[in-house]
Amino acid sequence: MLLTDKVALVTGAGSGIGRACAIALAEAGAHVVAVDINGKTAEDTAAAVGAFQRRGVAMQADVGDLADIDRIVQETMRAFGRIDISVNNAGVTRRADIMDLTEADWDRIHRVNAKGVFFCLQRVAREMIPKREGRIISIASIAGRGYAGTSNVAYAASKGAVISLTKTASQQLGKHNINVNAICPGVTRSALSDANLRVRAEQEGVTLEEMERRRADVIPLKRVNDPEDIAAMAVFLASPGARNITGQCYNVDGGLITS
């Protein structure tokens, strides 16, 4: 197994991409701390990790709260003594036109998607620096690269921030032998994207099945991501094969955008 006995901290691990990443990392040999704002779903993911004879630990936390971030890192260090891999996945959004977004929308989205990612990265790096080793992987989005089908402009801005901070953080943490990369998913099946799809179907007066067909048709490979497609990239970026890769933001989108 590529990641035998590594320790991975995954935020937003209760469902979707985060859950898939936690399970894939466990399958590759890692012990996993599953963090989610929903404690029950975090526990479900931790139990799934245990099915691979890896240790799964559930923690309930709000990554927009710096005290919560500090707590989960401290508890992970007490439990395992180190953090080898950090997957910053927790994120929020809603379907909205640019003229309908409110200050509350902006603050909520950036609090989790940008602030949460940065301070999780920074706090975990404090533990990785003395050990001179670590892999930090943030889940951005092709929305941050200008994808026109994004849920809203505030979400796109927050994911653009993740792309930018990944590049700069990689330059500043490289001297400590810490790799910092991001994954930019395209259209991906998840509770979040399915909720957005239902809103679009209602707005356009079409069936959900028709909207599902439309979103696949515009993808060159004609295939919407499953969360496991993103998880596979996360495992690679955490693996020895990616030891000399840093500062990169990889699209996993079936060819939907090309930059």
- For 25-43, give the DSSP string: HHHTT-EEEEEESSHHHHH
Whether the CA torsion 180, 184, 185, 191 is positive or negative: it is positive
User: pLDDT tens, 118-169?
Assistant: 999 999 999 999 999 999 999 999 999 999 999 999 999 999 999 999 999 9
Helices marked H in 111-148 — which ranges? 117-131
- The pLDDT of 222-226, averaged and rounded, is 95
Q: Could you tell me the strand order of the sheet in which 7-11 lies? A: 56-60, 31-36, 7-11, 85-88, 134-139, 178-185, 249-252
Q: Is 210 inside a domain boundary?
A: no
Q: Is 155 a catalytic site residue?
A: yes
Q: Is 240 inside a domain boundary?
A: yes
* Catalytic choice (48, 155, 161, 230): 155
* Domain assignment of residue 139, given as a range: 7-188+226-252
Domain count, the chain: 1
Name the 3-class secondary structure at 178. strand
Indicate if the pLDDT at residue 115 is higher than 80: yes
Domain CATH code at residue 25: 3.40.50.720
The secondary structure of residue 134, as a DSSP letter, is E
Q: Is 2 inside a domain boundary?
A: no
User: pLDDT tens, 169-220?
Assistant: 999 999 999 999 999 999 998 877 788 788 888 888 999 888 888 889 999 9
